[in-house]
């Protein structure tokens, strides 16, 4: 419906910003399923994946790839 399309247009930027890290966790870090039974170990794995994602983004901002001339 037109109302749903308008709502999707309004929230699409927020949705993209929130869903991207989860996609990276699943695709690059193999976190489709948690591997451990212990909650603390799973929490540690998620925190380390988040740190890795933040470091990767920081490196991309600080050292952008230069295009060849």
Question: pLDDT, tens digit, for every residue of 32-54?
Answer: 888 889 999 999 999 999 999 99
What's this model's pTM, rounded to 2 decimal places? 0.72
Q: How many domains does the chain have?
A: 1
CA distance to 8, 9, 29, per residue, from 14 (Å): 10, 10, 23
**How high is the pLDDT of residue 18?**
87
Q: What is the pLDDT of residues 56-68, one digit of tens each?
A: 999 999 998 887 7
Residue 47 lies in a domain: yes
Residue 22 lies in a domain: yes
Q: How many angstroms separate the CA atoms of 7 and 15, rounded? A: 12
Q: What is the mean pLDDT of residues 22-28?
A: 91
Domain assignment of residue 55, given as a range: 2-60
């Amino acid at each position: 419906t037109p109302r749903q399309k308008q709502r999707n247009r309004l929230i699409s930027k927020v949705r993209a910003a929130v869903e991207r890290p989860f996609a990276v966790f699943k695709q690059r870090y193999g976190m489709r399923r948690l591997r451990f039974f212990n909650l603390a170990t799973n929490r540690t794995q998620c925190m380390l994946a988040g740190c890795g994602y933040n470091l990767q983004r920081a490196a991309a901002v600080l050292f952008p790839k230069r295009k060849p001339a």
